[in-house]
Homo-oligomer: A and B are copies of this chain.
Amino acid sequence: MRLSKLYMPTLREAPADAEIASHKLLLRGAFIRKSASGVYTYLPLGYKVVRKVEEITRQEMDNAGSQEILMSAIQPKEIWEQSGRWEKFGPEMFKLQDRHNRDFCLGPTAEEYFTTLIKDEVKSYKQLPLNLYQIQTKYRDEKRPRFGINRAREFTMKDGYSFDTNSKTMEESYMNMYCAYEKIFDRLRLDYKIVQGDNGAMGGSQSHEFIALSETGEGVIAYSESGKYAATTEKAEVKYVLPEKEEKLEMQEVNTPGTTTIEAVSEFLNVSKNKCLKAIDLMVEEKPVFVFIPGDRELNMAKLIGFLGVAEHSIEMMSDEEIISLGSRPGFTGPVGISEDARIIVDKNITEIDNLVVGANKEDAHIKNVNYGRDFEAEICDDLLEVQVGDIIPETGEEYKFARGIEVGNIFQLGTKYSSTIGAKYLDENGKDQLIWMGSYGVGVTRSVSAIVEQNYDEYGIIWPMTVAPYHVIVTVVNAKNEEQLALGEEIYNALQKEGIEVLLDDRKERAGVKFNDRDLIGIPLRITVGKMAMDKIVEYSTRKERVNEEVSAQDAINRAIETVKEELK
């Protein structure tokens, strides 16, 4: 492609709302343009990168025995109602009606849809296992779309689904996808960690997330130095260190004016924070729920959601009025004598701590020496705590380390969650109806593009890995009005194209500075500069990463480019 023809409107400055490097550089380098909040257009260079990520994903899915199909982006309401997710997905789901007022959504994912597809056509165990995928536009009406194509409302996702006769082969299908995902993200040249995930809205048991490490990532992972353990902080288990056992004393109400925080009450009563009960007052699906955890910890909302089995958007903080109407006071909520209309849930560790200080459900009052079992009872959840610095990994005994990252892939063992609600069954060898065992597998195609940029840029622009670069080589003719330079540029351009190398020829009649800045910005991995020494067939060769020019003969430059491209595509 000739740059004189390429539609590449690069920008000197990124718009003010672009916060992170990938967002800024993809805009500046004319890879993407914003059409609306969280909605983007891919310009020629950007779409080439997207297609390369798609193609790598496709190849590895095909190699793993999965088969590509394409379902519609609009999905009928009925199939979502069967699983209960029509309501559960909440405002993240774009909904619409057709001219006959029939309800549809723009698919945010497709567990229900794939299950419905195979439901009537997979009849026998002989047709299983089966693995299908699609590379398709997906929709999530994010509360806060941000970071460009990192968290967009319309995006490209590979979603795939496995169908098996039993849990054991489901696990094999899952491991098969696990390995395929490693190959995909390796070929995308991402630096990533595979971590145990939270199953969240997907349901099912085991899951893993593929997290591209990046300081700008919205996800936090907790892992062990040894590499033996890694999980999202949503999932990471907390082994809480209990305060020492004491003799249980008698309850005593104390006046504690203005102590509406754990810090305040701990200081006022001179009691360590881990002996104070932290209350989180919530409305869940519009019903009151009081959650109590040790005062020195934070609530892990994902764990609570998993325990309750509700949708994230159905949880809100309780208002002061609601707290009062339940016979308590904001800042002084406690489990003793609270309204029986509310659900009370405690982190399991609470049952092991003696002589707790708890809110007295009165203004400016707490109760000391409260003990679980003797003074109150509640629903017990094994682990409601957010992991924190200093915690020990239960499985390995090491201290947790933390890192930020971008979730580019996830895999879930769904079990029979969807097949049971939708009724997807097969006949086993004995002619008996059995539920199909499923897995679901996602790759964020467009999000991977932003993750690749987050890991591959410098002060001058993007540095694309060869495997996803929009072009492999850029040939810059320093002075395109000079016939000798242009002729040699064309010669190199043609020679490389003949070898199947994807080449850009910068034949624009622009100043050299403009051309050099553009090529740094758009990040083509290899560069050949044709300048004044063109008459002697001498050019400059450099990589985008090193940016160090080396004088070589045109033929050497061609040979080196071909060799490097082939090497790096391996």
Interface on A for B, CB 8 Å cutoff?
5-7, 9, 33, 35-36, 39-44, 46-47, 50, 65, 67-76, 91, 94-96, 98-99, 102, 104, 106, 113, 117, 121-122, 130, 132, 137, 139, 141, 143, 153-154
Contact = CB atoms under 8 A, between A and B. Distances in A.
A7 B121 CA distance: 10
27 contacts: A5-B65, A6-B67, A7-B67, A7-B130, A9-B121, A9-B122, A35-B75, A35-B113, A36-B76, A36-B102, A36-B104, A39-B74, A39-B76, A42-B69, A43-B69, A44-B67, A44-B69, A47-B68, A50-B70, A72-B154, A73-B137, A74-B139, A96-B96, A96-B106, A98-B153, A99-B143, A106-B106
Nearest to A44: B67
Contact of A137 (B43, B50, B65, B137): B137
A73 B41 contact: no
Contacts of A139: 74
Contacts of A33: 117
A91 B91 CA distance: 25
Given A35-B71, A47-B69, 18 more contacts: A9-B121, A35-B76, A35-B117, A36-B102, A39-B72, A40-B72, A41-B69, A41-B72, A41-B117, A43-B69, A44-B67, A73-B73, A74-B106, A74-B153, A95-B96, A98-B153, A99-B143, A137-B137
A476 to B, nearest CB: 19
Contacts of A96: 94-96, 106
Contacts of A98: 94, 141, 153
Contacts of A102: 36
A139 B39 CA distance: 17
Majority SS at the chain A contact face: mixed
Contact of A132 (B7, B36, B106): B7
Nearest to A67: B44
A447 B253 CA distance: 77
A35 to B, nearest CB: 5
A342 B187 CA distance: 69
A512 to B, nearest CB: 18
Contacts of A94: 74, 96, 98
Contacts of A130: 7
Contacts of A36: 72, 74, 76, 102, 104
Contacts of A72: 35-36, 39-41, 154
Nearest to A10: B121
Contact of A68 (B44, B113, B121): B44
A113 B94 CA distance: 21
B99 A141 contact: yes
Contacts of A132: 7, 44
A137 B70 CA distance: 11
A60 B426 CA distance: 45
Closest 9 interchain pairs by CB?
A96-B96, A9-B121, A42-B70, A44-B67, A91-B99, A41-B71, A39-B72, A72-B154, A36-B76
Contacts of A121: 9
Contacts of A5: 65
Contacts of A106: 74, 96, 106
A74 B95 CA distance: 12
A179 B46 CA distance: 28
